[in-house]
């Protein structure tokens, strides 16, 4: 039997794994795969086919542990299977396999607590995004001290790459914290929540924000000058200094510009 070559074998195995039915692949399996002492050629190839969906579901489980916790394993696997039918893996890596899951959940009219689950998925997606972002330099206290007080009015603060701001309709940050055993589980009812997700010293973090702090940080992250952002947010001076100390201590910014 002529050697089919690596590329042809790989293309057949991919088609076999993804095909809805395997009956038409039996003859080709016998040509490309050797049987073992206990398995036919089709059964040996079927091991990879059977494990494929399981591996994709495992990847989604690792990215959405709080969603898995709320739904339970069976319901989560059903959701994942429905999602993967429309959003199959199309990359060599599974890191971004679940990027469309929050949007997908938002369209499922038969899913109980859909809005809460969509918010929970949005938060977990933001955490995976900052996990995969490139490392940025962090704004130092020396760089902050070098800015004259009068220059802050027109200065711009650049957030680090591993930085995501999100607002939610439900207390999903509290729920995630309860899953991680940081606090008690919240009531699943509407409660506006604002969160910044970021990576600090190679650890993914999240910080709950008061609405004015969220508005201010959003304005700064979008490129507004510090003076303009503060004015629009109507922030008290005491809060401004407290938040700024916390944000710089957490390494949310990488540079300050526009003042010299």
Tell me what pLDDT residue 239 has.
Answer: 93
In angstroms, the Cα distances linking 104 to 93, 122, 167, 225 are: 20, 11, 18, 36
Q: Give me the residue label for tokens 């300050």.
A: 256
d(CA 259, CA 245): 20
Q: pLDDT, tens digit, for every residue of 31-89?
A: 788 888 898 888 888 888 888 889 999 999 999 999 999 999 999 999 999 999 999 99
What pTM was computed for the model? 0.87
Res 219 pLDDT > 90: yes
DSSP string covering 125-193, please?
A: HHHHHHHHSPP-----HHHHHTS-GGGGGT-EEEEPSSEEEEEESS-HHHHHHHHTTSSPPPPSS---E
The model's confidence at residue 11, banded by pLDDT at 50, 70 and 90, is: confident
d(CA 243, CA 201): 20
Tell me what pLDDT residue 25 has.
Answer: 62
Q: How many CA atoms lie within 13 A of 72 on its CB side?
A: 2
Q: Could you tell me the end-to-end alpha-carbon distance of the chain, in angstroms, rounded to an integer?
A: 74
Tell me what pLDDT residue 237 has.
Answer: 85
Q: What is the CA radius of gyration of the chain?
A: 25
Beginning with the edge strand found earlier in the chain, give each strand of the sheet holding 193-200 in spatial order. Answer: 163-168, 193-200, 203-209
d(CA 174, CA 181): 10
Tell me what pLDDT residue 20 has.
Answer: 67
């Amino acid at each position: 039997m002529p050697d089919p070559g690596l590329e042809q074998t790989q293309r057949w195995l991919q088609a076999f794994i993804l095909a809805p039915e395997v009956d038409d692949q039996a003859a080709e399996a016998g040509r490309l795969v050797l049987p073992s002492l206990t398995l036919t050629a089709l059964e040996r190839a079927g091991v990879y086919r059977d494990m494929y969906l399981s591996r994709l579901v495992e990847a989604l489980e690792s990215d959405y542990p709080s969603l898995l916790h709320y739904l339970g394993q069976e319901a989560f696997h059903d959701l994942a299977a429905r999602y993967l039918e429309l959003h199959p893996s199309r990359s060599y890596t599974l890191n971004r396999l679940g990027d469309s899951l929050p949007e997908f959940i938002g369209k499922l009219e038969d899913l109980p607590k859909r809005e809460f689950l969509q918010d929970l998925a949005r938060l977990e997606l933001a955490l995976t995004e900052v996990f995969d972002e490139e490392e940025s330099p962090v704004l130092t206290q020396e760089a902050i001290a070098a800015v004259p007080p009068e220059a802050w009015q027109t200065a711009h603060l650049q957030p680090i790459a591993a930085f995501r701001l999100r607002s939610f309709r439900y207390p999903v940050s509290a729920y995630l914290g309860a899953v991680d055993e940081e606090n008690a589980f919240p009531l699943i009812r509407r409660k506006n929540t604002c969160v910044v997700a970021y990576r600090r010293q190679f650890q993914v973090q999240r910080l709950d924000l008061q609405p004015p702090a969220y508005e201010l940080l959003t304005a700064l992250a979008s490129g507004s000058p510090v003076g303009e952002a503060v004015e629009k947010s109507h922030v008290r001076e005491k809060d401004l200094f407290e938040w700024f100390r916390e944000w710089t201590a957490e390494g949310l910014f990488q540079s300050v510009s526009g003042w010299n």
